[in-house]
Copies of this chain bind each other. A is one copy, B any other.
Amino acid sequence: MNLPNNICIVGLGLLGGSYAMGLTRAGCTVTAVDVRDEAIRYALEHGLVAEGTTENPAPLLQKADAVVLGLYPQALVEWLRENQAHLKPGTLLTDVCGVKGGIVETIQGFLRPDVEFIASHPMAGREVSGVEYANCEMFRPANFIIVPTEKNTPRGIAFAQGLAETLGFAHITRLSIAEHDKMIGYVSQLTHAIAVSLMNATDNTHLAEYTGDSFRDLTRIAKINEHLWSELFFANKENLIAEIDQFAASLEGLKQALANDDEAELKRLFVQSARRRRLFDKKQAER
């Protein structure tokens, strides 16, 4: 695949750092811009990047053929407004944001016409942050979603595709902004809302010694980064509220079956959920 040679990572966190590792291993010249001195120092010492700065990004951007923006949504938009003047003509840009609505249109609305922003979402993450935890192996089982708009060109889409293939993602697909955000509202944000609400439902910490794997699996994602996730939740508010309502109605239906001693209905709900969940295993096995 035909990946640009010089790639600048802006925001050297867990994802940005893992991109840097994977792209350096693939033979690209990777540079990095971050606000933390320690992040740049770590990346240089561990061979994740060839150069890095916490100062003026212009010198690195002027050498970059492509830029990966590993920033939170709002910071991403602000950073691009301030720094797009430094980009080389023809630069390809992409992001790692978990929500696309409101962000992609905004960026594509103000961006210089001689550079291209193609949105993408690596569906990978951990309950830790920082380049110190970077590991490009985390992409191997993960999904990568490319979110093209009418502003994108085949060259831009091919860049995102090549990036995902180089980083070794298991599954690469394309969705529209609306499809992406609806899907994310259900499979990612609703699950985080549930895990958080389960931990908050009661002061349960005295129960820690009794919890089994199922409880731990279900609540692992409750160790949430409040800054990132409040941005993501508000950015996808309508979809997420609709998903919460649908889930709450489903749970209420189960409760009613229980309250009414309706054994047939309760069993029907169990059979349906088990059948659906087994399909997920099947589709995973088919990959």
| A residues in contact (CB < 8 Å) with B | 123-124, 141-143, 145, 171, 173, 183, 186-188, 190-205, 207-227, 229-230, 233-234, 237, 240-241, 243-255, 258-259, 261, 263, 266-267, 269-274, 276-280, 283-284
B212 touches A270 (CB 8 A): no
Q: How far is the CA of A261 from the CA of B145 in the complex (A)?
A: 28
Interface of A: prevailing SS:
helix
| Selected A-B contacts with CB under 8 Å, 28 pairs | A123-B212, A142-B212, A193-B251, A194-B218, A194-B251, A197-B254, A198-B250, A199-B276, A200-B269, A200-B272, A204-B276, A205-B279, A209-B283, A214-B220, A219-B277, A222-B274, A223-B273, A224-B270, A225-B274, A226-B270, A230-B263, A230-B266, A230-B270, A234-B261, A234-B263, A237-B259, A244-B251, A248-B252
Q: Are B241 and A280 in contact, CB atoms less than 8 angstroms apart? A: no
A273–B200 CB distance below 8 A: yes
Task: Indicate the member of A200, A204, A207, A226 with the most B CB atoms within 10 Å.
Answer: A200
Given known A-B contacts A207-B186, A207-B187, A209-B173, A280 and B219 have beta carbons under 8 A apart: yes
Tell me how far the C-beta of A225 lies from the nearest C-beta in chain B, rounded to whole angstroms.
Answer: 8
- Measured between beta carbons, the chain B residues less than 8 angstroms from A271 are 226
